[in-house]
C-alpha cells in the first residue's frame, strides 16, 4: 500500500498555544494552507475549524503562537 501523495497526503501539524500547550493533528496541505491564510487575515474572527484525520477541531486563533509543519527531509525509506 502506497502512502498518499499530492493534495490528499496528510502531514503532521503542531499548533502551539499560549501556555506551552500543543495540539498535534494530521491534515491535508489544503487544510494547512487554509489555516495559515485564516491566521494571517483573522480580522476579528477568533475561531477556525481544522479537519484532521479523525476529528474536527475548533481552534481559538487568538491563542495560537506557532504552527509547525512536518517535513520529509529527515525520513528514511518506508
Half-sphere exposure (CA, 13 Å, Cβ side) for 54? 1
74 falls within a domain: no
77 falls within a domain: no
**Domains identified in the chain, total number:** 1
pLDDT in tens, the chain (78 residues): 345 556 678 899 999 999 999 999 999 999 999 999 999 887 777 899 999 888 999 999 999 999 999 886 555 555
Task: At 47, list the grid cell.
Answer: 475561531
75 falls within a domain: no
1 falls within a domain: no
pTM above 0.95, yes or no: no
59 falls within a domain: yes
Q: Dump strand ranges (E) for the chain.
A: 10-17, 21-28, 47-51, 56-60, 64-69
What's 46's domain CATH number? 2.30.30
The values of phi and psi at residue 31, to 5°, are -65, -40
Structural domain boundaries enclosing 20: 6-69
Amino acid at each position: 500500500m502506497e502512502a498518499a501523495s499530492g493534495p490528499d497526503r496528510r502531514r503532521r501539524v503542531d499548533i502551539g498555544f499560549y501556555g506551552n500547550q500543543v495540539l498535534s493533528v494530521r491534515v491535508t496541505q489544503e487544510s494547512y494552507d487554509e489555516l495559515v491564510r485564516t491566521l494571517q487575515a483573522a480580522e476579528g474572527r477568533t475561531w477556525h475549524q481544522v479537519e484532521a484525520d479523525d476529528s474536527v477541531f475548533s481552534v481559538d486563533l487568538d491563542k495560537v503562537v506557532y504552527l509547525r509543519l512536518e517535513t520529509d527531509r529527515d525520513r528514511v525509506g518506508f
